[in-house]
Amino acid sequence: MDLRDLYQDIILDHGQHPRNFRAQAQPSHFAHGHNPLCGDRVTIFVTLDGERIGDVSFQGRGCAISQASASLMTEILRGKTLAEAETLFKGFHAKVTGNDAPATPEALGDDMDRLEPLTGVKAYPARVKCATLAWHAFEAALKNGAIGATVKTE
C-alpha cells in the first residue's frame, strides 16, 4: 500500500491546521481521550441543543491521524442529531477496522464520504486507534455529561 493513501492531503491539512480546535467554557458534555501506547490526547467538548449537537470542538496533541480525525469529526458532527452521530460512528468504526460497514442512510452519505480518507488506516493495524480516539472520546462525553470522563483506547 502506498503511504499517500494513508497521508492524503486532506489528512495532512486537518492534522496541521485542525478545525474547531478550542475549549468550551461551559460544555454540556466533555471527555478526555488518551492513547497510552503513543501518548495521543484529545479532549472533546460538546454542547447539546436538545437532541442536536449545537457545538462540538476539541483540543489535544498527537499524530496527524488522531488530530485530523478529531478535526474532521467536529466539522461533520455539528448540527447532527445524536442518532445521526451514532450512525456515523458505527459506520466509520466498521470502515477503519476493516469490517462490513452498515448501509449509510442517504442523508449521511456526504459525511461518510468525507471520512473516507481516514479509512486508509485499516492497512496499518497499529494506527487504527489513532483514527478512532476522538470518536471514542465523543461517545464517552455523551455518556458522562458535564462531569467529564476519561476514555483510553486500550
Q: Which residues bind another protein (CB under 8 A)?
A: 3-4, 6-7, 12-13, 16, 37-41, 61-65, 124, 126-127, 130
To another protein, the closest distance from the beta carbon of 97 in angstroms equals: 17
**In angstroms, what is the C-alpha Rg of the chain?**
14
Q: Which is nearer to another protein, 54 or 98 (CB)?
A: 98
Q: Where are the beta strands (DSSP E) in the chain?
A: 29-35, 40-49, 52-61, 150-152
To another protein, the closest distance from the beta carbon of 71 in angstroms equals: 14
To another protein, the closest distance from the beta carbon of 39 in angstroms equals: 4
Whole-angstrom CA distances from 144 to 88, 94, 133, 154 are: 20, 24, 16, 19
Cell representation of residue 17: 491546521
The rounded distance, in Å, linking the Cα atoms of 32 and 118 is 21
In DSSP terms, 49 is beta-bridged to 52
Q: Which is nearer to another protein, 77 or 151 (CB)?
A: 151
Q: Which is nearer to another protein, 40 or 55 (CB)?
A: 40
To another protein, the closest distance from the beta carbon of 73 in angstroms equals: 18
Q: Which is nearer to another protein, 29 or 129 (CB)?
A: 129
Q: Label residue 46 exposed, middle or buried (CB < 10 Å: 0-12, 13-18, 19+).
A: buried
To another protein, the closest distance from the beta carbon of 91 in angstroms equals: 24
Give the number of other CB atoms < 10 A from CB of residue 74. 25
Q: Which is nearer to another protein, 17 or 143 (CB)?
A: 17
